[in-house]
Structure 1
């Protein structure tokens, strides 16, 4: 009995084996506790977080918000128009894009086109037709004569233009003649994109 008692005392007096710590193992597997990976951006301050939480989804002054939005759209539209007028490819319509189109615009802008006078001639002819005198016949004759000159000048322009485009690029893009005619009819000051060459300054 004493031996059993002493034996139990020896077992109880022996140092127990250290218990496993699951939290420590988790820390070893995943790194030190309390350390998080970087987010790649600075952590917002408490004041910024509170301001974001209290920011209303719908603005208080809807009228002012609409005015600001309308002003922003107007500024974007004006900026796009300025870039288009300067010839920026990113803001040009599809029909105006490309090196050949830019060359055609320079070719047309470098010469005086009789087609520019088509609208003033038509207005003068209309005025002469309203005058109840013998000037009607003279006005109509002058109108038809100038119209023939416009047609001949446009044909010469398109012919020379296609020859120049073929020499520079090897091929002529489809619709080049019509594109040149539609630009030549407009007054030089109203053409878009704006002319970038002076009259007589033929593109090379």
Structure 2
């Protein structure tokens, strides 16, 4: 009663196969999937069905990643290095530490020698054994002082080259830990010769 009257012209149905109808739209050629079917197709299992195969694949991927990182640490390619070794600041620290002679890098072999001396002289000459321990402690103190002097000089260079805002946290321990490692065992591998400090 209150509805609009339909236009008698547009209300007429046009035959489906009539090619003369300009408003006919071609179909997509397949039925529209139901909502349940579409949701089921998009679902992915949270837990893989074959856990053994998935675990093997994960282990292989982790092993390949470790191999890439190790090769990068040997060659100096920072793109595949772990994040804690990347960046120009960390590279500068490594080159600076590797270019100088550090007392700390000889700590482990010297400590091993003095430990053998202490054990061998403990019964035969207790006084000499105690002296060996004292000399080792003195060497440790000198190594720590040498590391502190190294860091003071390195910090001045880092501030002048990169600026204070570019220096992140953990650089002191990063440089000291490298200084207390034997040069052949350092990773990333040393890329500079002794005496060739970076500019």
Bucket of the pairwise TM-score, normalised by the shorter protein: 0.5 to 0.7
RMSD (Å), alpha carbons: 3.3
1:112 equivalent to 2:92? Answer: no
* Aligned residue runs from structure 1 range 114-193, under 5 A: 114-130=103-119, 131=121, 132=123, 133=125, 134-171=127-164, 172-193=167-188
The 8 Å contact of residues 69 and 80 in structure 2, kept in 1 or not, is answered as no
1:118, 1:153 → 2: CA distance? 12
Cα distance, 1:109 vs. partner?
A: 1.0
Cα distance, 1:79 vs. partner?
A: 2.0
List gaps (5 residues or longer) in structure 1.
Answer: 1-19, 36-56
Cα distance, 1:153 vs. partner?
A: 1.3
Cα distance, 1:22 vs. partner?
A: 2.5
2:97, 2:132 → 1: CA distance? 29
The 8 Å contact of residues 87 and 193 in structure 1, kept in 2 or not, is answered as no
Cα distance, 1:124 vs. partner?
A: 2.0
Cα distance, 1:191 vs. partner?
A: 1.7
**Pairs aligned (count):** 161
List gaps (5 residues or longer) in structure 2.
Answer: 1-13, 30-47
Q: Which has the higher helix share?
A: 1
1:22 equivalent to 2:16? Answer: yes
Cα distance, 1:115 vs. partner?
A: 0.4
Cα distance, 1:81–1:25 mapped onto 2, change above 3 Å = farther
TM-score of the pair, normalised by structure 2: 0.64
TM-score of the pair, normalised by structure 1: 0.63
Cα distance, 1:101–1:21 mapped onto 2, change above 3 Å = same
Helix, strand or coil for the counterpart of 2:134? helix
State the structure with more CA Rg: 1
1:117, 1:169 → 2: CA distance? 31
**Which one of the candidate residues 52, 70, 74 is aligned to 2:63?**
74
Helix, strand or coil for the counterpart of 1:199? coil
Q: Which residue number in structure 1 is paired with residue 85 of structure 2?
A: 96
Helix, strand or coil for the counterpart of 2:168? coil
Cα distance, 1:156–1:76 mapped onto 2, change above 3 Å = closer
